[in-house]
């Protein structure tokens, strides 16, 4: 292992981190099978191997702040992973945004970089073959691009979380058919999500950290 510094999160911090992500995943009133599979896998294999999904309940902002501790970088990195989980599928819903803002306020983190995010991501369920591609103003997204690019990768469990959350390649575009007739066209994720490059870049840095600094075999993530 190299001499690079590594942040060691306590079990209390990791459990709070996971409960915070669960709270956001549940914010829209449902917990779909893909979200459940991801959280179960991370709970059992990566973040909290001695916990079970049933043991984890939603967390308040005050509880999250107390359990994560006072280190600003840890608080901000939690919020970065929260935003990445919310936008990974190209959808940033109002309830997710409100929950993340509430967490940001409780943690004392300025989330002004997210101001324009809600205007640029959209729900793929509303996309049809006649729906024009929304205009994305790259300059308006520069603050959040810089904010996501600024995340330090210094904990192997968080690095593995990112590697599993962000797909290794852009999911293909696909058509939804009913009785043989195309009713919805969903663009490829790299076109749907204007922050896809930030997610991919973070995944690459996580892979590099695991391979170079932790001497881990990363073949399962490639």
Tens of pLDDT, residue by residue over 51-62, are 554 556 789 999
Domain-embedded: residue 129: no
Tens of pLDDT, residue by residue over 125-180, are 554 444 444 454 556 788 888 998 988 888 888 888 788 777 777 765 555 454 45
Half-sphere exposure of 130 (CA within 13 A, CB side): 1
For 16, the domain range is: 11-123+136-170+194-221
Domain-embedded: residue 215: yes
Q: What is the pTM of this model?
A: 0.74
Domain-embedded: residue 185: no
Whether 102 contacts 62, CB under 8 Å:
no
Query: Is residue 194 helix, strand or coil?
Result: coil
- CA dist., res. 194 & res. 121, Å (int): 7
Domain-embedded: residue 182: no
- CA dist., res. 47 & res. 17, Å (int): 9
Domain-embedded: residue 188: no
Backbone angles phi, psi at 103, to 5 degrees: -65, -45
Number of domains comprising the chain: 1
Partners of residue 177 on adjacent β-strands = 182
Domain-embedded: residue 6: no
């Amino acid at each position: 292992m190299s001499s690079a510094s590594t942040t060691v999160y306590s079990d209390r911090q990791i459990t709070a981190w996971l409960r915070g992500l669960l709270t956001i995943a549940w914010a829209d009133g449902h917990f779909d099978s893909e979200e459940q599979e991801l959280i179960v896998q991370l709970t059992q294999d990566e973040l909290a191997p001695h916990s079970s999904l049933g043991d984890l309940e939603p967390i308040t902002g005050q509880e999250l702040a107390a359990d994560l501790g006072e280190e600003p970088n840890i608080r901000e990195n939690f919020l970065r992973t929260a935003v990445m989980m919310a936008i990974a599928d190209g959808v940033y819903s109002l309830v997710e945004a409100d929950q993340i803002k509430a967490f940001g306020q409780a943690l004392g983190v300025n989330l002004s970089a997210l101001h324009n995010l809600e205007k640029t991501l959209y729900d793929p369920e509303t996309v049809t073959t006649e729906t024009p591609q929304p205009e994305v103003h790259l300059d308006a997204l520069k603050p959040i691009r810089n904010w996501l690019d600024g995340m330090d990768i210094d904990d192997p469990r968080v690095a593995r979380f990112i590697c599993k959350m962000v797909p290794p390649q852009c999911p293909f575009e696909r058509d939804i058919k009913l009785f043989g007739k195309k009713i919805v066209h969903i663009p490829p994720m790299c076109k749907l999500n204007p922050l896809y490059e930030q997610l991919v870049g973070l995944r690459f840095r996580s892979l590099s950290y695991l391979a170079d600094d932790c001497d881990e075999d990363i073949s399962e993530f490639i």
